[in-house]
Structure 1
């Protein structure tokens, strides 16, 4: 299991509720090949992602191997306990992870999942490692290809987990926005360890960036929208953004970013914006 086959942009399914199936079908038909979900009924309808996959496969739109499917184990602190839970919270953490994973396989109708991520670190380092080690057993069994962790903003904790994981940490999914200074410390650890950094809140969390004069000038020069320019910068900086757009026009704009070849990392204006974002 070498390298990541992850697409350069992922479709995010959070908060889509009963529209999840139609929106995932729309996104994949438009060209998305990466889908992010979670076994967390509070914010995701993982089962409706599964319905979308069933429809897409039946219609011959894509085959299973064409898609990168990612889900998450969400600890009890991230679950709404007034709703049916994907596991028995009275069980040990390893057993919770096992039950959650089996629920995900059933919800998605899949024999294997490309990436499974801890939705966040657990209450203690030891609990976090225990959950991660349980996920490692699914990699051993050929049921999962890549593992990761989300909402991990402590560089020391990430380094600690990297050192102790038997299966390489392959994904970190964090908020990448002005509110946390674009999370550069964690991003740097990812670059050093060949971990794919995924960003969420990329657009909605960065209104100042979208209005930054340097970014506006880049967008104008290369015929992109400010939103497209932000996604393109992510890709140039080895960040895979999550896009959760519900309108087809915005979905198409996001997908068009990958073929926008004029904007390059060594462009002087890009270097200047990079420096400005690190200085802020």
Structure 2
């Protein structure tokens, strides 16, 4: 997306638990320059992401400005209330958002965050807009650069929100997989409004895509694995995939996709695969 210096692939930190620091450090040292997390103890150790960031900054591996850091505000419906919460759930939503973002800054050990995303729409449209507008105040203060929303699959709600926000939606992060037909309706809105689409479940959610004859043909033709081919196609289609691999060899394979310049969007097999995926 124009104006956003977002890497073409980002490292996802969900479900890493106690290994989070080790794995984020491994990913950044290998070459990842985008990290996605959330202020949601249920699935993320945002504090351990912060430890990894402090370590690589102190070691001189990267500078703060070289890493795109993204976190999320998770509403109470997405939190595990048996765990300590990052905000007081009894407060009004704007105060919950403020407390959550304050927790994120402390966890991550940074003065600003590149992107903050609503983890999902809230219970009502008005609550969703209120949470987003609260984050807008931090953009105005220079503590957040870009805003977005995740898990939004209703095109009508998405368009409603686009029309009402003060700070342009810059990021959408959704499941991009077989069961939702690769979310083309929301993706198309993103293209129309110059919004960066981020994908998760990109590989694990589409086993039949990994075995599709057109994909296998492309992988063989360009010397890529099927997994690398999907990541490359995402990049060609203006999608930033999240990679959460814990294996260094797979981390390196994911990063190598950017150098696979031979595969182009106008390749006949790519067009055939595109048509097949849109026919689902």
The two structures share one fold, judged by TM-score above 0.5: yes
1:271 & 1:143 partners in 2: Cα distance?
Answer: 41
Give the number of aligned pairs.
Answer: 280
Q: TM-score, normalised by structure 1?
A: 0.99
1:232 & 1:24 partners in 2: Cα distance?
Answer: 22
Unaligned ranges ≥5, structure 1: none
SS state at 1:47 partner: helix
* Counterpart in the other structure of 2:211: 211
* Counterpart in the other structure of 2:108: 108
Unaligned ranges ≥5, structure 2: none
Q: Equivalences for 1:182-201 in 2 at 5 Å?
A: 182-201=182-201
Q: Equivalences for 1:13-24 in 2 at 5 Å?
A: 13-24=13-24
* Counterpart in the other structure of 2:151: 151
Structure 1 residue 162 displacement after superposition = 0.5
* Residue 62, structure 1, aligned to residue 62, structure 2: yes
* Counterpart in the other structure of 1:266: 266
2:14 & 2:164 partners in 1: Cα distance?
Answer: 30
Structure 1 residue 134 displacement after superposition = 0.2
2:112 & 2:243 partners in 1: Cα distance?
Answer: 23
1:92 & 1:177 partners in 2: Cα distance?
Answer: 35
1:118 & 1:136 partners in 2: Cα distance?
Answer: 12
Structure 1 residue 103 displacement after superposition = 0.1
SS state at 1:48 partner: helix
Structure 1 residue 3 displacement after superposition = 1.0
1:49 & 1:216 partners in 2: Cα distance?
Answer: 35
* Residue 82, structure 1, aligned to residue 67, structure 2: no
SS state at 1:43 partner: coil
Structure 1 residue 136 displacement after superposition = 0.3
1:97 & 1:35 partners in 2: Cα distance?
Answer: 21
2:159 & 2:10 partners in 1: Cα distance?
Answer: 25
Structure 1 residue 112 displacement after superposition = 0.1
Structure 1 residue 201 displacement after superposition = 0.1
Structure 1 residue 231 displacement after superposition = 0.3
1:174 & 1:122 partners in 2: Cα distance?
Answer: 15
Structure 1 moving runs of 4+ over 4 Å: none
Q: Equivalences for 1:213-228 in 2 at 5 Å?
A: 213-228=213-228
1:60 & 1:183 partners in 2: Cα distance?
Answer: 39
Q: TM-score, normalised by structure 2?
A: 0.99
